[in-house]
Structure 1
Amino acid sequence: MTVHEIDRRLGAHIAADELPGLAWLVAIGDDVTTGAIGHLDAAGTTPVRTDTIFRISSMTKPLTAVATSILIDDGVLDPAEPVDALLPELADRRVLANPAAELTDTVPANRPITVDDLLTFRLGWGMDFADFAPTPLDAAWNDLELGWGPPTPARMPAPNTWLARLGTLPLRYQPGERWLYHVGASVLGLLVARAAGRPLSEFLADRVLRPLGMADTGFSVPAEKLARFSPHYAEIDGARTVFDPVDGQWSTPPAFEGGGDGLVSTLADYHRFARMLRDGGALDGTRILSERAVTAMTTNHLTPEQLARGGPSPDGSAGWGYGVGVQLRDLPDGPRAGAYGWAGGLGSIWSTDGPVIAILLTDQSWGSAGPPPVFATFERILGELARTADPL
């Protein structure tokens, strides 16, 4: 497959006005190729570049899992230990008698929430991909402004306030019972901060970002880099609308550093992160994680019963490691069994399949029905490349 072919197939979605612009990266071993198509602005005057900074939303989750795994490597955290000592707000949990019950209809938790529960998203809170029917817990979540839906860092309460509010709510399911999306990563960010004795951003910068040379990744974009930052769009009532401008919510450091969805990054930065994982936890002679930690991150932890009740993919083809989705079987038009990665609802996706790393960053959110067609095209490209692993 040629670079021109990738540009042609992805560019067709820009030409169809499905989204304003995108940047892509494909690495096969040490052979790295990038491209940028379309524009940052709806008027079509500012082209996307390969060094454009994008909001990566849920592609933040793998970095938070790496930060947690570093603390496990350091002996500061243990996956099996309860989080009560560091997060006392979450001790002595009550659990809803059933997921749709009133908040007062509860039973005691069978056991405490553990670090492993947070990493595997089995703490008992989160989005149920198998059932989106509104519940009293959802209403209370919104009333407490705990964050549900697209990331809004400037509107989130300070970490201790957020955690105190969270602690007033019962769990939806017993700890360890079900995979539920997102909330585990938000709580992990706070756990890392308390375990490290400093903000999540500082720990990430010291132990992950600077050692890997990820100079453009963080929870906000400094003024001197805003010229490379993309505005972000969403489809609302059939019209493309600015969700967040360049000088919007990511232009200043947030009070709440969202471990599940708060980071911005670039193709080059995220590629360095992905290379580190692909190469067993080290990059260019700098070790970030032990090989054991990488294996734990990229191995499915969900049971067949949990996958049957609702996991990361509707068809059950993907499980969950620590902060990443793990492919359990080959997809005919996509990644193979053993591939891992994750995507972000603000329009981003990363996958590592054998020697192949593929990253797509865009400036438009997914719709309510899921990712736009360009993502299916990108996954087909990844699948074709992974099956041949020929240089571009």
Structure 2
Amino acid sequence: MSTRRLEDVFARIEQRVKDNLFPGAVALVARHGRIVGHRAFGNKTRGGNEPVTLDTIFDLESMTKVLATAISALVLVQLGKMRLDDPVVRYLPAFTGEGKDRVTVADMLRYSAGLPVDNQFLDVPDRDEVFRRMAETPLEYPPGTKAQYSDLTYRLLGRVIEAAADASLYAFASEHVWKPLGMFDTLYTPPPALVPRIAATGHSSVRQRVVRGEVQDEQDYALGGVCGCDGVFSTAKDVATFAQMILDGGTYAGVRVLDAKLAAAMVRNQTPWTREEETDVSPMSNLLFTPKGYGWELFTSRFSNGGTRLMPGSFGKIGGAGTVFWIDPHRKLVAVLLTNHGLPVPFDEPNWNQLIYTLGSGEFFDGVVNAVIGHA
């Protein structure tokens, strides 16, 4: 890696912090399993004076979908406790309605279950009742016919995992993924003692306070903070560890978490009926409709939040509060950018598109690729 070019990448992040585009950030770049750059910028709170440090913990929002949910589902498959072609209704008896008997675990993993993008019930206080209503949501399209990113799908997938594992999603992911990998700063529902290490995100109009140490998404907070959609907190180093495990075929530092075939399937295009040229037409459309793996976003050439210079076959995941990481297997490259920008309010297409531009994630990953010297 070119040290000079990496310094340019970090300088651009620092400038965005100085321009008040987001309060703080941590960036980490690794190649061939070695960290080549790891920097912290700004503050943990907007307008505050608590500097972000390399071990600052961030609200990862939808990065939860790969770091907790999709990986846990595949570990359950590996353990023989669940199959990819199992019908969802086997684990969620309330998952009934026209066509829903055909929805499989694999359909949920690849965002092709037929469910809408979201269906929230913030006015229902009972957690089990919320999940029952979510499970009863009618399909919008036949399962396995298109990709449509769905928070609702992953909330329900978290419940599928809990039924199959006979354990909470938190307990299962911690025991089978995070602890074996040494990801000791990765967790749901951080305790109060950990809050000083956590970067605050945005203001919650529902909670009437700036959110710090609590998942910012209102539905997942109302559900207790442990969910298949959002809720995981972590550091850049822990995220990079997880990424390296996937890059190395399911193993890290001599510990195998996932079978190599399942690890490869996780990041392969699992929605071959989805055409990139028809769906990669804006940042929001890219998130919602472009080809997907099991939980992962796959690199496309135009509006990917990973920029335009990653190699085909690259994969990554973004979190709505301003966190993102991508893996380029051809270059053996991992890059992580965690910020405390906070969720766009309201969460609509113009504000999502603006978030992508504000983060400068494309500039970040393009700069990291530009710092690569050779491909060996």
Shift of the 27–156 alpha-carbon distance from structure 1 to 2, 3 Å rule, reads farther
Find the counterpart in structure 2 of residue 124 from structure 1. 114
Do structure 1's residue 167 and structure 2's residue 135 form an aligned pair? yes
Taking the aligned partners of 1:15 and 1:110, their CA distance within structure 2 comes to 50
TM-score, normalisation: structure 2: 0.83
Give the share of equivalent positions with the same residue, in percent. Answer: 26
Identify which of 255, 258, 261 aligns with 2:227: 258
Identify which of 335, 339, 343 aligns with 1:358: 335
Q: Is the 8 A contact 1:214 1:272 kept in 2?
A: yes
Identify which of 236, 240, 257 aligns with 1:271: 240
1:234-245 counterparts in 2 under 5 A?
243-245=210-212
Q: Is the 8 A contact 1:119 1:323 kept in 2?
A: yes
Where is the helix percentage greater, Structure 1 or Structure 2? 2
TM-score, normalisation: structure 1: 0.80
Find the counterpart in structure 1 of residue 12 from structure 2. 9
Superposed displacement of residue 262, structure 1:
1.1
Taking the aligned partners of 1:248 and 1:122, their CA distance within structure 2 comes to 26
The amino acid across from 1:122 in the alignment is: S
Find the counterpart in structure 2 of residue 375 from structure 1. 361
Unaligned runs of 5+ in 1: 95-108, 128-137, 147-154
Rg: which structure is higher? 1
Do structure 1's residue 195 and structure 2's residue 164 form an aligned pair? yes
Structure 1 stretch displaced more, 267-276 or 215-224: 215-224
The amino acid across from 2:79 in the alignment is: D
1:42-121 counterparts in 2 under 5 A?
42-63=46-67, 64-91=69-96, 93-94=97-98, 109=99, 111-121=101-111
The amino acid across from 2:49 in the alignment is: T
Do structure 1's residue 337 and structure 2's residue 285 form an aligned pair? no
The amino acid across from 2:21 in the alignment is: E
Q: Is the 8 A contact 2:317 2:325 kept in 1?
A: yes
Shift of the 374–328 alpha-carbon distance from structure 1 to 2, 3 Å rule, reads closer
Taking the aligned partners of 2:16 and 2:274, their CA distance within structure 1 comes to 38
Q: Is the 8 A contact 1:335 1:382 kept in 2?
A: no
Shift of the 256–20 alpha-carbon distance from structure 1 to 2, 3 Å rule, reads closer
- Count the aligned residue pairs: 348
Q: Is the 8 A contact 2:298 2:314 kept in 1?
A: yes
CA RMSD of aligned residues (A): 3.0
Shift of the 326–248 alpha-carbon distance from structure 1 to 2, 3 Å rule, reads closer
Q: Is the 8 A contact 2:328 2:334 kept in 1?
A: yes
Q: Deviations over 1:214-273 (max 9, x none)?
A: 11111111233221111113699xxxx9641357879x9963521111111001111111
Find the counterpart in structure 2 of residue 28 from structure 1. 31
Q: Deviations over 1:271-297 (max 9, x none)?
A: 111111011101111110000111110
Find the counterpart in structure 2 of residue 349 from structure 1. 324
SS in 2 for 1:162: helix
